[in-house]
Amino acid sequence: MKKQEVELLDKITAGYSLPAMSPLAMRLIRLASIDDISIEDLSSVIEKDPSLTIRLLRLANSAFFRTGGPITTIGQAIQMIGLNRLRIMALSLSLRDTFPMGRVGALDYEEFWKISLYQALLAKSLGQRLRTCKPDEAFVGGLILEIGLLIFFDLFVKKDRNVERIRLQPLAPLLKWEEERYGLNHRQVGEATLKYWKFPKEIIECQGHYLVETDPSEVPGLAFVCNMAGVFSAIICEESTEWHPLFEKAEKTYGMDHDMLADILVSALDDVREVAISLKVEMNRKQDILGIMEKANRALSAISERMLQINEADSKFAMPTFSGFSSRGTPAREALQAIVHEVRNPLTAIGGFARKLEKNLDPASEEWEYVRVIVEEATKLETRLDELERKERQ
């Protein structure tokens, strides 16, 4: 790293040019450095902000976090969630209030917080299933995973009139562009910033691990979960994301089967509305579900077209069969076998996810009707594939 880049990161670590935070957030930052703070001390600080108190209690009482009876005080919330984690959660909510909403120049803050919220929900769900980190810690880690972008934008991009729009996803091109244009990336800025704000070491470590393609054992558990959450959030938030590559990555890189990924995606869509209220983030769950189903529909269309590619010219709409092939080694038969194997996995992933989502939706809703169409189309294609495989075995 160049000398001026090191100097800039050192300045950020010392608080240079960071957004002016609320007095409450600053008090919470100071409390983060006190190891033996009491429940009473933390409660007295949080309860001075009625809005934050209400949002924390709503979050603690949500199905997303609650494990017992109703929680009516911050003290009870601390006992349920844990003193340190509730302190960091309160700080994260305060950080959300520090930055504006809407679009400012090249950055859409609404889009940023929408992606961040889905990353938080997915990270918590992954933490629960993989058991490699604490789920509520994963929620905070996912929520502020790209917080450095907001600081980076203030420092560099806001005054750069040649930048029309910043897109958080996909992450790799953004980080590359930042480094080429400005000499460092927003994850480096995020790491320095979180150190200054005195976040726990495990959450700070997440900033240094991105685009993870290695063995999970080489990456801290929380960082690996947050990285996965960032990747998986693209299927909900990024319009151009293709369906199958993400499910394939889940299986090959992260060792997750289709059902597990479908479960965490559905759980995120289930939880987003309730948690968004606490974070004061505007979400359109219906639009997000329809967007995912549009991706699924495009993927099903591509599968259908692939299955029709070797049809006979005089039977354009007839499904190819193995009849007439006397040898299992003929090129035509091998081509058919390749198509069956090529489309089976993405078709299973789409059908499985749509069926899980269908069970969680109101049958009277528009999104349920769209999901139902996807389920029916996936079922038809699965039946046709089954027929091909049966004939191949004969």
Nearest to 266, CA basis, from 245, 294, 289, 282:
289
CATH classification for the domain delimited by 99-283, as one of 1.10.3210.10, 3.30.390.50, 3.30.43.10, 3.40.50.300: 1.10.3210.10
Distance separating alpha carbons of residues 209 and 206, to the nearest angstrom: 5
Q: What distance in Å separates the CA atoms of residue 122 and residue 143, rounded to the nearest whole number? A: 10
Q: For residue 325, what pLDDT band results from cuts at 50, 70 and 90?
A: very low
pLDDT in tens, 362-393: 999 999 999 999 999 999 988 888 877 776 66
Q: Is 151 in contact with 19 (CB distance < 8 Å)?
A: yes
Q: Residue 258: is its pLDDT beyond 60? A: yes
Q: What value does the mean pLDDT take over residues 176-199? A: 89
83-98 and 39-46 are packed helices; what angle lies between their axes, rounded to 10 degrees?
A: 20
> What percent of the chain has a predicted confidence (pLDDT) above 70?
80
CA distance 3 to 241: 38
Question: What's the confidence (pLDDT) of residue 313?
Answer: 30
Q: What's the CA gap between 381 and 151, in Å, rounded?
A: 48
Q: Name the average pLDDT for the chain.
A: 81
Per-residue burial over 223-259, b = 16 or more CB atoms within 10 Å of its CB, e = otherwise: bbbbbbbbbbbbbbbbeebbbbebbebbbeebebebe
> In this model, does residue 324 exceed pLDDT 50?
no
50-59, 62-71, 167-176, 181-190: least confident range: 62-71
Q: Determine how many CB atoms are found less than 10 A away from the CB of residue 145.
A: 28
Average pLDDT over every residue of 115-141? 89
End-to-end, the C-alpha distance of the chain in Å comes to 63
| pLDDT average, residue stretch 21-30 | 70
Lowest average pLDDT, out of 58-67, 100-109, 254-263, 326-335, goes to 326-335
pTM greater than 0.85? no
Can you tell me the distance from the alpha carbon of 231 to that of 119, in angstroms, rounded to the nearest whole number?
9
Does the structure show a pLDDT above 50 at 115?
yes
As a whole number, mean pLDDT of residues 295-309 equals: 85
Higher pLDDT, 85 or 374: 374
Q: Which residue has the higher pLDDT, 101 or 151?
A: 151
Span 48-64, average pLDDT? 75
User: For residue 63, what pLDDT band results from cuts at 50, 70 and 90?
Assistant: low
**ω into 170 cis (within 30 of 0):** yes
3-state helix, strand, coil in the chain (%, to 5): 70, 0, 30
Cβ neighbours of residue 174 closer than 8 Å, sequence gap 6 or more? 166, 167, 168, 185, 186
Phi, psi of 236 (to 5 degrees): -90, -40
**Range with the poorest average pLDDT among 104-113, 150-159, 211-220:** 211-220
Is 22:97 a contact under the CB 8 Å cutoff?
yes
pLDDT at residue 320, rounded to an integer: 44
Distances (CA, A) of 191 to 197, 252, 350, 374, 386: 10, 29, 37, 42, 51
Q: Is residue 92 within 8 Å of 140, Cβ to Cβ?
A: yes
Tell me what pLDDT residue 65 has: 64
